[in-house]
A = this chain, B = another copy of it.
Amino acid sequence: MTENTQVLFKSRPTGWVDASHFEVVKTPMADPGPGEVLVRNIFMSLDPYMRGRMRDQKSYTPGFELGKVLQAGAVGEVIASNDPALTTGDLVEGRLGWETYTVAKAELVNKVDGKAASLSHYLGVLGMPSMTAWIGLRNIGQPQAGETVYVSAASGAVGQVAGQIAKMHGCHVAGSAGSDDKVAYIKDVLGYDAAFNYKTAASLDQALAASCPEGIDVYFENVGGAMLDAVLLRVNPHARIVACGMISQYNLAQPEGVKNLSTIVGNKVRMQGFIVSDHMDQKPAFMAEMSGWLAEGKIKYREDITEGIENAPAAFIGMLKGENFGKQIVKIADP
């Protein structure tokens, strides 16, 4: 009998997530029922939105269930199929589990091409985070040539792509991140015009003034809190705030207060939230455009790969603290 290593959701965090909220267990590998497939998971995605699913409150995705295996976007290989649409050896991506083997409904996974791209790419630059950047800029940010686009968490899974797309639009692009290495990457590799380390900046306001000397037309918002407050003092008339995430607030029992919202009125700012899964009709267009950019070398993308499913909890906790450098992925098995 083959063993399945699983990470269960053991208890609900109220503040910072720690190892006690997870439990790693070994269970027998299950068999697929009718219409189901058994997937050998290869790469798994860790994303900030998962912190929201740990809360016991209404959210845009249902909460994780206590005592059950945690869920994640993942890619893997079909090793048994009870559905005519998929056969053994097919590579698929979908919402699978924090585990080595997942039984999934065949209709809920999608075949991917293991020759066209590295499998991990389907979780990052050709997956949900990159499409989040693409949709957010296209539908809400709408950057125009000559405008200033500012991206927080700019070396992260979404931020890296947001800034590079904005550069292609002819914008002045600035970003921030939490280490000097990340700042160097943002400028030297991703080609941002300006970047700063928000942890060591004397003040966020001064750092934004220096990085965005003509004010901010589009803010790609990944962090919230004090950063949003600082941005609100630097927005230009008709600025757009792409409200993608607010990771700085997710682990606070009491979120920080944002004080400068009245600049939204006077500057006619549009701040708008979105969820990428509402826009799956645009996935083919995204895949076509992003694959082309990737092939042409117009998009760079850094991944931070942690080895071993048993190390997923630590990787997730580290990501929430900003310790990852690039898109956080867990390698569960060799392709």
A positions within 8 Å CB-CB of B:
52, 59-60, 224, 228, 237, 243-246, 249-250, 254-262, 264-275, 278
A272 (CB) vs chain B CBs: closest residue: B270
A250 (CB) vs chain B CBs: closest residue: B262
By CB atoms of chain B within 10 A, which of A59, A246, A249, A266 has the most? Answer: A266
Nearest CB of B to A205, in Å: 14
Bound Cα distance from A257 to B269, whole angstroms? 18
Q: Please state if B268 and A272 are interface contacts (CB–CB under 8 Å).
A: yes
| Residues in B neighbouring A261, C-beta threshold 8 A | 224, 228, 243, 246, 255, 258
Bound Cα distance from A224 to B237, whole angstroms? 20
17 example contacts (A-B, Cβ-Cβ < 8 A) are as follows A52-B266, A60-B266, A60-B268, A224-B262, A228-B261, A243-B264, A243-B265, A245-B265, A250-B262, A255-B260, A256-B257, A257-B259, A258-B261, A265-B275, A267-B273, A269-B272, A269-B273
| Residues in B neighbouring A246, C-beta threshold 8 A | 261-262, 265
Nearest CB of B to A73, in Å: 18
A275 (CB) vs chain B CBs: closest residue: B268
Bound Cα distance from A34 to B52, whole angstroms? 66
| Residues in B neighbouring A250, C-beta threshold 8 A | 262
| Residues in B neighbouring A264, C-beta threshold 8 A | 243, 271-273
| Residues in B neighbouring A262, C-beta threshold 8 A | 224, 246, 249-250, 255
Bound Cα distance from A155 to B181, whole angstroms? 55
| Residues in B neighbouring A224, C-beta threshold 8 A | 261-262
| Residues in B neighbouring A244, C-beta threshold 8 A | 265
Bound Cα distance from A246 to B249, whole angstroms? 24
| Residues in B neighbouring A249, C-beta threshold 8 A | 262
Bound Cα distance from A146 to B265, whole angstroms? 27
| Residues in B neighbouring A260, C-beta threshold 8 A | 255
Q: Which 5 A/B pairs are nearest by Cβ-Cβ distance?
A: A257-B257, A265-B273, A264-B273, A60-B266, A270-B272
